[in-house]
Each structure stands twice: as C-alpha cells, then as structure tokens.
Structure 1
C-alpha cells in the first residue's frame, strides 16, 4: 500500500473500526461519542535490554484477556545508528502505542522499519500505531503472511483479539504488511546487519526469524517458546528441522515472542519438546493406540514431566498437540 493509501486508510479509521467492532460493541461505545470510541490505553511495560542494540517488551500474560489488554507476546526492537527496527507490534493499536512510548525511553531515533514474524494477530495488529506515527514506515513480512491475511485471516484475528479482550482493542485499524522478506536477505541498517531466516513451515508457513549479527542475537517469533498454545498451523517435522539448524548457529541470545530471552537451552528444549511428541505419537500410532491413550504416556516422558509441564498452557493444550502430531504423522505416511 502506498503512503497515500495508508493516509486515506487512517482518515477512514472511524468508519473501518465501526464495521469491524460489530454492533454489540458499537452501541455502548458510540453512545458516548467519537472521543470514547477507542479502547483504553495499555499500561507501560519497560523494555528489557538483551544486548547492545536489542530490546523486547515482556508480555503481561500468556493468553489474551481483558486484564492484560491482549498484551501476551513480546514486541521487540533493534536500535541502529540509522533508526529503530521494530519486530512484531502486538495485538492492538493501543499496544503499538505503548511500544512506541517505551522506544522513546531508550532512544530519540525514529522507527524506520517494522517486521512481522508471522500472521497470528498478536504479531501484527499493532502495525496501525506505527503507520499512524509515520505513514511512510515500511512494514515487512514473509509473502505467505500477506497471502494468508488477505484471505480473511486479518478479520479473524481482529475479531479473536476483540472477543478475548472484551473489546479493548477497539479503535485498531487492520494495517497489513506490504513489503516482503522471503528469507536469505542480509539487510544493512546503519551500523547494524540483519539476516532474515525462513526455515519453511515451523509454527506457520510464514515464520521468519531476524538475526542481529553484530549482537549475536536472534528474534525467533513463535518458532520456539516456553508456552504450549497453538500448533494447528505448524509442523512438528518442520520445527525439529528448523530448531536443529538454529542450534548450530553462532547465537548467544534468543528472544522468543512468548517467554523470557535465553541462551541456546531454549532452542534445545523447544526441539526436544517437538521431537518427543512427534516421535512418540508415531510409535504409539503404529501400536494402534488412540490419541487419548497416547496422551498420558507422552506426558510421562521425563522431559515432559520435568520441563514442559512447567510451561503455561501445558495441561490444557498438550492433548491438542498430540492430535496434530498424529495427523502430521499420518499425512507423512502416504
């Protein structure tokens, strides 16, 4: 979209928001007038400094709720001599605005690029805030991210976040990435070199990781996390392959979009988690076991009991992971 197109989009923000919020949310908000037609501001969360250039803003929870305003992922940013590169923007314009406030506490340099790591809504719905602040800012993603969002997933994710936050993202305008990064690019931004990695289908088919070469730091998106949430769009085999490759890279710090930054142990644990579920599901499938018979056996594995069981969402979601693993195993048989 051109800069002029974005300006036109923002001028029409009120009308677009009305259509997306839906009448159930519109009626009580509209009754108070236009000034009230926006969800509440998100409280400030100070940025965590990981390395000389790399920061992230920690999530306020592991799932989107009204209490955390949908702030359940870690928007990140890289401060270069030329300007700031933002990596994932959160679930709403309000979160994006909060991210901008935290950036200003660190540097007076402008935001010059935004990168969305994939198409799940907590990674791009905050784009609106950055275009509102600078209509000329470029927003990048993998081409598959743009394709999926344009197929209707953009509105799905808006509605998902709106529902789960009790309409607190009201005022957010869907603002999609328009520039493409397919993986393999090396981007020089002032004194900083970024390498873009795409490993195929991992958490989704559109995942990209951003390596900040100078700082030996990598933003992982959702390709690894200490959280058990959603594997329906991903691949166990792809995840194992990708994390095996990442494990060998000369990286000191890994920043997931859910959970704290860590060293390579994060990658090793993420790979073990995926490997155990997929391998064991395959073994038990060959023995003729059903998914509900497999689940307790997989949960009894030492790694699962000692490590994965501590992750948010484990008890409620591990069964879904087993089902997805079975489906992928069956697909790979034929």
Structure 2
C-alpha cells in the first residue's frame, strides 16, 4: 500500500513538473491569416524559459508558414501543436531569420518540414549551435531539456513566391548577423524583420556589422509595409521601430568611437549615461555593456594605429 501511494505521489509530481514547462503562447492576430507569438523583452532566465523572441505564422490556403521556431525543443513542439490545433492546417514551411539561438533551437519540432535559411545563417548554426544550446541550458535550466541542433535543409533565396494565396518576398540582408532574412507578405502588408529591428528593446550586437545593419534598415524602411513584426518588442503599424533601432545604433557607434578616440577604457565607456530617449528602452544599459565588449576592442585598436596605417 505504501509503495502504491509513493508511486502515485511520484506520478503527480512528474505531471506538475511537466506542466511547469508550458510556455504562455497566446496568438496575436496582426493581419488577415497572420499571427504573432510575442515574447518578453527580457534577458534569458529560468522564469521565461528563453521566450524573449517574437515568432509568427501565416495561414495560407496550402498550409501554414512559420517564421522562427523559438528557443528550445519544448517551445517548438508547443508552438507547432498550437498552430495546427487552432488553424486545422499543417505546417508546410519554416523560415529562420538568422542564427541566434532564440530563433532556431525549436527546429526539432519541424524535422519533417522544409526549413529555409540563408547560407550564412546555416553556417552560424552549424558552427555555434552546440555552444548556444549549452549556454541556454545554463541560463534557463530544464526548459532546454532534450534540445539539440537541427539545421535548415533548404536555402532561402531572395525573391518572391506565391504560397497558398500569399505573395511572400524573401529579402536577404545582413548587419545584425552575417545573414539576416526578412519576410514581406505583399498580400497582407506584414513585414517580419527578424532582429534587424527591435521595438523598445535595446539591440543586441554579438555578431553585428553596424554599417551593414544601417543599410539593411534603409532597405526595410523603403518597403510599403502596413505592419512590422520586430524580432523583439511590440508589433507596430508604422516605421517608428526602424527609426528607433537606427537611432540607437548610430548613438552606440558614436559613443564607442568617441570613447576610443579619447583613450577611455572599456569600463569607462560602459558607464556612459543613457540618453533620455533610450531610458525607457528595455535592457538599454545592460546591452550597452555587452556591446562595449563586442565592438569596442576593434575600435580601440583602430584608434591606436598610425594615421597612414589606419587608412
């Protein structure tokens, strides 16, 4: 009898433990047939399970097109289950906007679905995916249990294709990473920008080329979109998130270059006061500190070169 009670208690505890790893996925309709699962504007933690990213999906006549699979196997499985249960249609394609872990580590849930990414993104996933997985396990714990790297199996190419009544344009860019894919649905006017655009959340820069990033923002701003889904932050119906991202990146590079030119060290630059317009932007100070570590050493080295060598 005692053994039976113990087994029952273990079963109840196991079920409760499993329930505690449910992501709060609430589809947000942003246009006809188009939905976003909006993540928190936070750092990775054991509380949010890595759900700090916006993923989306488009319900076409032929099936569902998904944009980014999220940060873990659990997330991808729950995302796909929700999509197929609520739409009554199968997922027919997955687009991966770039190689950062919160955007592609849910790929295990889509192993039987064509997974599209730019070549540079696939290379990044292959080179860094295992380290990403280990780091996220350290930061988010058992939310990551069972997660392993599944690479894209299709090359995303720039161009327009009609899928189930939706005219989808794949746009190949770079700057946030060496390969940044944006997806523009001409049928609904929705632009999925990936992490080229942040909205009221400071941009991350571990693989950034700021000059290329600013050029990519010019391209996105020229598009006739009606709705923009940033990689992080609220969905918007205007170009303000693009303008804010550009403003932040320009301020960041000016700050770092001036710091290097004035002989400041990294710790001094990290203490730069945040301009008033960025004080309400989530994680602005902590991302400044990270960006100093990512970008400042190169700028510092360049500032110390003799004039002829610097040219």
TM over 0.5: yes
Deviations 1:64-83 (CA, angstroms, capped at 9, x unpaired): 22222221211211111111
Q: Counterpart of 2:177? A: 204
Shift of 1:312: 2.2
Change (3 A) 1:67 1:291: closer
Q: Counterpart of 2:276? A: 305
Is 1:243 paired with 2:243? no
Query: The residue matched to 1:222 in structure 2 has which SS?
Result: strand
Change (3 A) 1:291 1:39: same
TM-score normalised according to structure 1 size: 0.78
Deviations 1:112-131 (CA, angstroms, capped at 9, x unpaired): 00011111111111111122
Q: Counterpart of 2:99? A: 119
Shift of 1:172: 2.4
Q: Counterpart of 1:185? A: 159
Shift of 1:166: 1.4
Shift of 1:309: 2.0
Q: Counterpart of 1:217? A: 190
Q: Counterpart of 1:75? A: 55
Change (3 A) 1:294 1:158: closer
Quote the Cα distance in structure 2 between the aligned partners of 1:138 and 1:296.
Answer: 46
Query: The residue matched to 2:180 in structure 1 has which SS?
Result: coil
Query: The residue matched to 1:224 in structure 2 has which SS?
Result: strand
Q: Counterpart of 2:226? A: 252
Is 1:146 paired with 2:126? no
Q: Give 1 or 2: higher strand fraction.
A: 2
Query: Does structure 1 conserve the Cα–Cα contact (< 8 Å) formed by 2:54 and 2:231?
Result: yes
Is 1:159 paired with 2:129? no
Shift of 1:165: 1.4
Is 1:89 paired with 2:51? no
Give the root-mean-square deviation of aligned CA atoms. Answer: 2.6
Q: Counterpart of 2:3? A: none
Out of 280, 286, 291, the residue aligned to residue 316 of structure 1 is 286
Aligned residues: 289
Query: Does structure 2 conserve the Cα–Cα contact (< 8 Å) formed by 1:44 and 1:98?
Result: no
Quote the Cα distance in structure 2 between the aligned partners of 1:71 and 1:327.
Answer: 31
- The unaligned stretches of length 5 or more in structure 2 are 1-9, 304-309
Change (3 A) 1:236 1:58: same
Change (3 A) 1:246 1:289: same
Quote the Cα distance in structure 1 between the aligned partners of 2:22 and 2:203.
Answer: 23
Quote the Cα distance in structure 2 between the aligned partners of 1:70 and 1:277.
Answer: 26
Out of 200, 206, 230, the residue aligned to residue 232 of structure 1 is 206
Quote the Cα distance in structure 1 between the aligned partners of 2:76 and 2:39.
Answer: 13
Query: Does structure 1 conserve the Cα–Cα contact (< 8 Å) formed by 2:41 and 2:233?
Result: no
For the pair shown, the structure with the greater C-alpha radius of gyration is: 2
Change (3 A) 1:39 1:157: farther
Quote the Cα distance in structure 2 between the aligned partners of 1:315 and 1:293.
Answer: 13
Out of 90, 108, 123, the residue aligned to residue 110 of structure 1 is 90
Q: Counterpart of 2:250? A: 275
Quote the Cα distance in structure 1 between the aligned partners of 2:69 and 2:217.
Answer: 24
Query: The residue matched to 2:143 in structure 1 has which SS?
Result: coil
Deviations 1:112-162 (CA, angstroms, capped at 9, x unpaired): 00011111111111111122xxx2x100111111112222x1211111221
Shift of 1:170: 1.0
Change (3 A) 1:126 1:248: same
Quote the Cα distance in structure 2 between the aligned partners of 1:65 and 1:319.
Answer: 18
